[in-house]
Structure 1
Amino acid sequence: MGCNRNCGLIAGAVIGAVLAVFGGILMPVGDMLIEKTIKKESVLEEGTIAFKNWVKAGANVYRQFWIFDVQNPEEVAVNSSKIKVKQRGPYTYRVRYLAKDIISQDSKTHTVSFQRPKGAIFEPSLSVGTENDTFTVLNLAVAATPHLYPSTFVQIILNVFIKNSNSFMFQKRTLKELLWGYKDPFLSSVPYSIPTTVGVFYPYNNTADGVYKVFNGKDDISKVARIDTYKGKKHLSYWPSYCGMINGTDGATFPPFIEKNRVLQFFSADICRSFYAVFGAEINLKGIPVYRFVLPSRIFASPLQNPDNHCFCTEKIISKGCTLYGVLDISKCKEGKPVYISLPHFLHASPEIAELIEGLSPNEEEHSTYLDVEPITGFTLQFAQRMQINILVKPAKNIVALKDLKHNYLVPILWLNEYNNTADGVYKVFNGKDDISKVARIDTYKGKK
């Protein structure tokens, strides 16, 4: 989600000079010519300003990580104590620096198909340490074993390899290993053909997300950027009923002329579901009036609080029969691995969810998700997308590393903040109101001609 460094500038200026971007003034838009120009240039097809900025890489999008470093691993594994964690971060990577790979443009269906290449470049100047910093974290392979192999016989066999490889409930890993992958000693010792590389985001670099097919808005501007299919499907198989619907855009842009009562829908492939945001406040972003849309707490509410969420409750262990709230089981989307998503520090979650974890301090300002959308063009000029990745660990009497546990633990691994940086000087441009031939022409940049 999000705009690249110049999309607010170019789109705002050229699309009818609605915005004097990054420090300018929002101009009146009553003129029909300006409205017509906005609609024309918002279409996602070759030659429009929107298409140019939508395709090119968002070189100023970053992803920050905070790792939960476990302080008492032996106490937990032996005595089933509460897990004490210490947050360490941020460690920052530049992401979305690769342009979209356009596969096809269909003039009959008014759609564009594309893939989004993935890549992450470490940014030392924006990080508290290096990629070689070491953390005590959950052993991902050991924790997943009872979930992936419920058979008692198979667990007894795998336990031999876990013991022989000196693998335990917790392990020490570098930041780079934890995020992007490492050869797990337990899995590598198993004499069968199984994947041996483990990592929270493995595989990531040199892969691509998609294929997405989105509407270009040519026939109906209210549909611009809306996803038609993802990987050839209109409905995700992970969720029953309407919960599996792929709704809205990817969050980078929305149809123009947004009103405060609009519910903005967007899809996140990382979290395997569609979300929505509601109006929260008017914000002045470097001189540009924008609408801040926020993810409401009802997103992760239990079916008792929000009946619309009944089809997102697919497990009974953590949710206690779908009565607790604040986490989402996405294991079906992650090949059966026991992955749960929440807001950072279990913000807006039932107190019982985090009762076995010490060291958390949720707060709205640091841990909520928002999008700052320019209402006339529909561009997301600034955003912060935050989420936490947790792993469910349950007792397993046939696996020595987990046999002494007396509780089901929802162990926080890390939380992340994906955000953009919109700063790019102060532009002053002509709006074309008195002379249309001057529209979007830059008068000064940073006060200079």
Structure 2
Amino acid sequence: MGCDRNCGLIAGAVIGAVLAVFGGILMPVGDLLIQKTIKKQVVLEEGTIAFKNWVKTGTEVYRQFWIFDVQNPQEVMMNSSNIQVKQRGPYTYRVRFLAKENVTQDPEDNTVSFLQPNGAIFEPSLSVGTEADNFTVLNLAVAAASHIYQNQFVQMVLNSLINKSKSSMFQVRTLRELLWGYRDPFLSLVPYPVTTTVGLFYPYNNTADGVYKVFNGKDNISKVAIIDTYKGKRNLSYWESHCDMINGTDAASFPPFVEKSQVLQFFSSDICRSIYAVFESDVNLKGIPVYRFVLPSKAFASPVENPDNYCFCTEKIISKNCTSYGVLDISKCKEGRPVYISLPHFLYASPDVSEPIDGLNPNEEEHRTYLDIEPITGFTLQFAKRLQVNLLTGTIGDEKANMFRSQVTGKINLLGLIEMILLSVGVVMFVAFMISYCACRSKTIK
């Protein structure tokens, strides 16, 4: 009887030891299995999770606009007083709902090329008004003409045409006209105009961004989604030196196994340059742990503070020998039109930039750009890409969050839970049975 009990206790201890060892072994083996699965599923080729969501995002992506409505146009024109503005918005459009086009794999260099179609659908339920709302804004055609044509005689001719068309420095336009384009009466009088239609984002609908050529990660997972060429080139031809380089991905995803110490580089055709983000905090996004990366103020600093930015400084704006900061002149990539990009309300810009404008209230929480990255896969699950006249936001939907939790995060958490249960139960069984065995053995000896 005593032997049977002792043998049973020893057997229980042995089983516990085996479970504990198995749980311990499963940890590194499980990590290897996770890495192998992730590396397989993030490759941009037919049949992977990444490819399916990369061709056509399942996430609702919106572009939201807040427009600065000028409150004192007559005073500005007559007395050169400070411009008083009132922010109105958001006006929301659904974008990125079209699948990538001309998707072509190149097995020789393990890249995939594509075009990203552009489209925008107005979303009344997410907007404060309609596309017919009116705004008093700068006259885009008049402002552009004086910038493009610097010759004094030509400007005299243009002034007469401006008067003839009854145009002025400010105008009233609907949201739809301002964003997507309208026929300008002044431009219709200009001989040989490039176009008579102007708009902040004209043309947009029925156009496409690209061609992009990115690495598919098949031979090297650390390069997946990184841009090889844009429009057939590795440089932009807008800037000097390293500023002209196309770096990183398009920010929709990054190579897997993202570390907090990394600097994530990405290219944005909206601002005609590459930029970067750094880790800020851990965030729980609908039950999914993500890393929040933000654009640091240093990315917009003057060359005095950040010497790497010297090649973004141009002479077309009053830069005070490149000591002013926070505004980027992108006219070179906008066919010579005077387009300047900043963060909303001139966040991170030098005080002299916003000095002539009343009504600005910059703050980081509302106006900075951030990306929420799932670190294991490298997928961007939520982002806010914010510029002065537009704000592009996207977040993972409930359905996609459920899929992500079940197919990625859930399986990883389940494997980790199994590892810990096996290890814990094994250790407890081993210790308990060994203590019982020793106790029984001591009683038998007595």
**CA contact under 8 A between 1:382 and 1:422: conserved in structure 2?**
no
**C-alpha deviation, 1:194, in angstroms:** 3.1
Please name the residue that 2:253 is paired with: 253
SS in 2 for 1:431: helix
The alignment's TM-score, normalised by the length of structure 2, stands at 0.83
Structure 1 residues 371-411: Cα deviation after superposition (integer angstroms, max 9, x where no partner): 000000000011111011xxxxxxxxxxxxxxxxxxxxxxx
**C-alpha deviation, 1:29, in angstroms:** 8.8
**C-alpha deviation, 1:192, in angstroms:** 2.8
**C-alpha deviation, 1:28, in angstroms:** 9.8
Cα pair distance change 1:229/1:89, threshold 3 Å: same
The alignment's TM-score, normalised by the length of structure 1, stands at 0.83
SS in 1 for 2:303: coil
**C-alpha deviation, 1:299, in angstroms:** 1.0
Does the alignment pair 1:431 with 2:411?
Answer: yes
Cα pair distance change 1:374/1:76, threshold 3 Å: same
Cα pair distance change 1:145/1:433, threshold 3 Å: closer
5 Å matches for 1:23-422? 30-58=30-58, 60-315=60-315, 317-388=317-388, 414-422=389-397
Cα pair distance change 1:189/1:301, threshold 3 Å: same
- AA in 1 matched with 2:258: I
**C-alpha deviation, 1:421, in angstroms:** 4.5
**CA contact under 8 A between 1:102 and 1:112: conserved in structure 2?**
no
Which moves more between the two structures, 86-95 or 192-201? 192-201
**C-alpha deviation, 1:31, in angstroms:** 2.7
**C-alpha deviation, 1:158, in angstroms:** 1.4
Which moves more between the two structures, 88-97 or 145-154? 145-154
SS in 2 for 1:242: helix
Structure 1 residues 275-334: Cα deviation after superposition (integer angstroms, max 9, x where no partner): 100000011111111100000001110000000000110226332110111111111111
**CA contact under 8 A between 1:187 and 1:194: conserved in structure 2?**
no
**CA contact under 8 A between 2:59 and 2:394: conserved in structure 1?**
no
The CA RMSD over aligned residues, in Å, is 1.8
| Greater share of residues in helix | 2
- AA in 2 matched with 1:422: G
Runs of 4+ in 1 over 4 A off after TM superposition: 27-30, 425-428, 432-435
Cα pair distance change 1:197/1:432, threshold 3 Å: closer
Cα pair distance change 1:433/1:190, threshold 3 Å: closer
**CA contact under 8 A between 1:303 and 1:310: conserved in structure 2?**
yes
**CA contact under 8 A between 2:34 and 2:412: conserved in structure 1?**
no
Cα pair distance change 1:179/1:30, threshold 3 Å: same
Cα pair distance change 1:28/1:180, threshold 3 Å: farther
The number of residues matched between the two structures is 384
| Greater share of residues in strand | 1
Structure 1 residues 93-146: Cα deviation after superposition (integer angstroms, max 9, x where no partner): 000000011342101100000000000000000000000000000000101112
Cα distance in 2 for partners of 1:434, 1:191 equals 70
- Give the % identical residues: 72
- AA in 2 matched with 1:254: F
Cα pair distance change 1:336/1:137, threshold 3 Å: same
Cα pair distance change 1:329/1:29, threshold 3 Å: farther
Cα distance in 2 for partners of 1:327, 1:233 equals 26
Structure 1 or 2, whichever has the larger Rg, is 2
- AA in 2 matched with 1:431: K
**CA contact under 8 A between 2:59 and 2:396: conserved in structure 1?**
no
**C-alpha deviation, 1:30, in angstroms:** 4.3
**CA contact under 8 A between 2:187 and 2:193: conserved in structure 1?**
no
**C-alpha deviation, 1:344, in angstroms:** 0.4
Cα pair distance change 1:378/1:432, threshold 3 Å: closer
**C-alpha deviation, 1:58, in angstroms:** 4.5
Structure 1 spans left out of the alignment, 5+ residues:
1-26, 389-413, 436-449
Cα distance in 2 for partners of 1:319, 1:29 equals 57
Cα distance in 1 for partners of 2:199, 2:101 equals 26
Cα distance in 1 for partners of 2:266, 2:70 equals 34
Structure 2 spans left out of the alignment, 5+ residues:
1-26, 416-446
Structure 1 residues 178-224: Cα deviation after superposition (integer angstroms, max 9, x where no partner): 00000001001224343100000000000000000000001100000
